[in-house]
Structure 1
Amino acid sequence: MAKKKKSVELSDQNITFNIEKISYRVIRFLPTLMTVDVMVVENGVKAGMQSLPFAHIPRETKKIIKAN
Structure 2
Amino acid sequence: MAKQKKSIELENISFSQGRDSYTLLRFFPIKMSVDVMVYEDGVKAGVKNIPFAHLPKEIKKIIKPN
Do both share a fold (TM > 0.5)?
yes
Aligned length: 66
Gaps of 5+ in 2: none
Give the AA of the match of 1:66.
Answer: K
Report the TM-score, using the length of structure 2 for normalisation.
Answer: 0.92
Gaps of 5+ in 1: none
Comparing both structures, which one devotes a greater share of its residues to helix?
1
The superposition leaves residues 27-53 of structure 1 with CA deviations (integer Å, 9 ceiling, x where unpaired) of: 000000000000000111000000000
Whole-Å Cα distance in 2 between the matches of residues 52 and 46 of structure 1?
Answer: 17
Report the TM-score, using the length of structure 1 for normalisation.
Answer: 0.89
Matching residue of 1:50 = 48
Matching residue of 2:3 = 3
| CA displacement at 1:14 relative to structure 2 | 1.2
| CA displacement at 1:20 relative to structure 2 | 2.5
